[in-house]
Every structure is written in C-alpha cells, then in structure tokens.
Amino acid sequence: MMQDQGRRRRIRAWAMPAGLVLLWGCAGMDGGMDGGMDSGETTSSPQAAAFALADRNRDGVVDRPELVSDTVATFASLDIDDNGSLGASELEGADATLVELIDSSGDGSLTLVEVIRAKMDELDARDTDADGTLSPEEAAGASR
C-alpha cells in the first residue's frame, strides 16, 4: 500500500507536462470533425486544447465522466492493433518514465484501466477546491 501511494505521487509530478496525450487526451484536434481546424478549435497551448476537448458539455470544467469519455476515445485512437493495451510501438514518443509510473502491472504496456486510474489520480491531485471537477486553472496548476 505504501509503495502504491509513492507511485501515485510520482505520477502526479509527471502527469501533465510529460504525458499530455496519455493523460489529457486529444483523440483528435478537429473537434468539429469537419476535416479542418477552425479558430474555435485552436488555443494558445496544447494543454488548453486538450482541456477544451475533454470538456464535452462546454461548462468550463472537466468532471469524471468527461475525463473517462475522453480517455476511452484517446485510448482507442492510440490502440492501433486493437488488442486492448498500448504497447511499445503505440507509445513511441511517450515519456518512458511516465509510462513506467502508469504501468501498474509492470508489463511494459498500458491498459485502459491503468490510464483511467492515472487520470483519476491526477484529477484528485489537481482539484484544489475539492468539487470533483477540474477548472482550466486547476488543470494548469501544480498538484496539491
């Protein structure tokens, strides 16, 4: 148990800057799915763009159901071989330390459950007002 808590703290420290695609998603930057990016689909940073895509109901915050939905969509888009896990070729370019921290089974690949767990841990760490949602400011800020 103590070992698991330490691992989760390390995940929080690495999650946002190193694992944007793994932890904040972006199944596709073309939110309108019209084949192009319009001004409403672009933002000043990749983190802000990922946040906007995760905020599916456009209420200005990301809640747990939105985070899970975004995770499932992103995971499916990354799981090229449709085997239910992200292996080395699918994780190419991802931060190896982050992958190791999220990989609770230690098998070198990530399952959807492992990624969702990491995202929920990150939501909890950044939810400074403890309302169960993330505002853009909380998502951009440091973990508590």
pLDDT at 142: 53
What is the radius of gyration, based on Cα positions, of the chain?
15
Question: Is it the case that residue 17 has pLDDT exceeding 50?
Answer: no
Quick check: 37 pLDDT over 50?
Answer: no
Contact 108, 87 (CB under 8 A): yes
Give the rounded percent of residues in the chain with a pLDDT score beyond 70. Answer: 67
pLDDT tens digits along 117-141: 999 998 999 899 999 999 988 887 7
User: What is the C-alpha to C-alpha distance for residues 92 and 73, in angstroms, rounded to an integer?
Assistant: 18
Nearest to 140, CA basis, from 37, 31, 39, 43: 43
**How would you classify residue 135: left for phi > 0, otherwise alpha for psi between -120 and 50, otherwise beta?**
beta
Check whether 63 has a pLDDT greater than 90. Answer: yes
- Mean pLDDT within 16-24: 39
- Is the pLDDT at 30 greater than 60? The verdict is no
Confidence at 6, pLDDT banded by 50, 70, 90? very low
pLDDT at residue number 98? 86
Q: ∠ at Cα 83 (81, 84), nearest 5°?
A: 125
Does 28 have pLDDT greater than 60? no
Residue 31 predicted with pLDDT over 90? no
